[in-house]
Amino acid sequence: MSKKVRVRFAPSPTGGLHLGGVRTVLYNYLFARRHGGDFILRIEDTDQGRYVPGAEEYIIDSLKWCGLEPDEGPHKGGPHGPYRQSERKALGLYDKYARQLVDQGHAYYAFDTPEELEAMREKYKSADNPSPQYNHTLRKKMRNSLSLDPAETQRLLAAGTPYVIRIRLEPDQEVHFTDMIRGEVRFSTTGVDDKVLLKADGMPTYHLAVVVDDHGMNITHAFRGEEWLPSAPVHILLWRYLFGEDKMPHWAHFPLILKPDGNGKLSKRDGDRLGFPVFAMNWTDPRSGEPATGFRETGFLPQAFVNLLALLGWNDGTGQEIFTLTELVDRFSLDRVHKGGAKFDFEKAKWFNHEWIKKLSAVEYSDQVAPLFAAAGITIPPADLERPGGEPEVPIIPIFADPLADITGPPPFDLAAYESVVRAATPVPNRFETILDLVKDRCTLLPDFVGQAGFFFQLPATMDLDAVRPKWNAAKDLFFAEYIRQLQVGGELTDPHALEAQFKEMAAAAGIKPGELLMPLRIMLVGGKFGPHVFDIAVMLGKEETIRRIGHTLGLLKA
């Protein structure tokens, strides 16, 4: 590409960040990184009536959790700031271009009050036209600089009469552009209304602001959801009138993320109804107090969240499903993005998380899991969190760091070189992390670790004795009493294989099948019929605790 790639994500700070928004961020980010470009965050706070305090910070925190850090933005600065539209409005950027359009005859002043607009909609409503629009047909019937004589227009302006500036669209014009996903797209202006460009409070609408800001920030590629396709004619005409279509960025409109049944766009209400999150992180609307659960708090790893979003509308054609962010950067191309919508499947989303929990060392996510134990009332001894040998000398490289130019060079990246540096920088697991690694194959969401590993840190609250009693007898009671004595005279438990061999030898000597003893041993240590290999559990519990738990259960069985 001849120009440096510059893409942007431009959300409105009106609420939580929907997973569709995060996918738009991801595709922008991957495209920018793939082509050595810049990814910009711009806050489009033009609608002050819908502005929600804290929403901007939430968006920034969500992108940070996902590992999709912008190169420029309101929190980082950059050479093309300011990055909030309210601040850009204060510089007069939008007003200047709106008045230029009026002077060129491409826009006009409209003085209609809200009451007059509502009356228009009622007066001209019909069966054939249930929602009348402010367009070439009706604008002559309204109060604007096209219907009023110039002297009256100047009088209203001089008197400070509130007005908006609307684009002037004539019917039967064809507007077309090439979409990088959908190919040639054509529109007729006949069904498009005269959109407001500048509101009465001087703030621009999205239509004007997105064009002015994309030009001012040298955006080369504008990627957004397909719901914005109907607005494309207005935006293309604004580019034509203000800067020239040759300066316009390349366009791509991503497919929708659909409800699980494929019937319409996925919404927060669908998540509430079906019991899964649709926002990146927890969000509580400060106005209504209405909470929404996020993927992070549900127990998703950011690697899994990003991975599953990448495949909601894209694949690399190989059938591979598990991708690191570096691999996604290396493989991503817009020609593999689908035109049709992608159905969201929460069970598949959990599958991605399960695969990533297994794939990563627990070192990568133990800091996310530890608070879950505390919340469940399970105390992790400080010694279990101490790292043997201290921290590694090589700084840890975040899994979602930008491509490492000094190591990998320009794309395609040398994944082996990248991963070798990551391995060299990975610290040795502490006892808590070693335990998590033992049980991670059984965990789909991070809260599952509490149920699967809580028994390592406290005596099980309940014991499934009903699973033991029906086949319990004096021979088994004597066996475990003897097993306790053997453990007492032996050394520390360090080798699960040796411990298993000893157990089976004792079972053979007692004339009892090992299988009849292994399940009671598991329940003695764990409280139920679950958990990793039973002798791995015993080694991790240690000699004294293993003896204590066996003795405790024997006492319960005699009661």
Q: Is 504 a catalytic residue?
A: no
pLDDT band at 136 (very low <50, low <70, confident <90, very high): very high
Q: What is the pLDDT of residue 419?
A: 54
Q: What is the pLDDT of residue 417?
A: 59
Kindly tell me if the per-residue pLDDT of 215 is higher than 70: yes
Lowest mean pLDDT among 34-43, 284-293, 449-458, 464-473: 284-293
pLDDT band at 3 (very low <50, low <70, confident <90, very high): confident
- Per-residue pLDDT averaged across 54-73, rounded? 96
SS3 for 75-115 is CCECCCCCCEHHHHHHCCHHHHHHHHHHHHCCEEEECCCHH
Give the global pTM.
0.90
Kindly tell me if the per-residue pLDDT of 105 is higher than 60: yes
State percent of the chain over pLDDT 70: 93
Q: What is the pLDDT of residue 422?
A: 53
- Per-residue pLDDT averaged across 226-251, rounded? 96
State percent of the chain over pLDDT 90: 87
pLDDT band at 401 (very low <50, low <70, confident <90, very high): very low
pLDDT band at 47 (very low <50, low <70, confident <90, very high): confident
Q: Bridge-partner residues for 183, per DSSP?
A: 179
- As a whole number of angstroms, the distance between CA 460 and CA 531 comes to 13
Q: Are 522 and 538 in contact (CB under 8 A)?
A: no
Kindly tell me if the per-residue pLDDT of 391 is higher than 70: no
- Per-residue pLDDT averaged across 90-108, rounded? 96
Who's near 275: CB < 8 A, 6+ residues apart? Answer: none
| Active-site choice (268, 343, 348, 359) | 268
Q: What is the pLDDT of residue 398?
A: 46
pLDDT band at 49 (very low <50, low <70, confident <90, very high): confident
- Per-residue pLDDT averaged across 224-244, rounded? 95
Query: For residue 455, how many other CB atoms are within 10 A of its CB?
Result: 22
Strands 164-167 and 196-198: antiparallel
What is the sign, positive or negative, of the torsion defined by CA atoms of 228, 230, 235, 236? positive
- Per-residue pLDDT averaged across 448-469, rounded? 96
- Per-residue pLDDT averaged across 294-300, rounded? 98
pLDDT band at 400 (very low <50, low <70, confident <90, very high): very low
Which one-letter amino acid corresponds to residue 517?
A: L
Q: What is the pLDDT of residue 140?
A: 94
Q: What is the pLDDT of residue 393?
A: 53
- As a whole number of angstroms, the distance between CA 121 and CA 311 comes to 43
Kindly tell me if the per-residue pLDDT of 405 is higher than 50: no
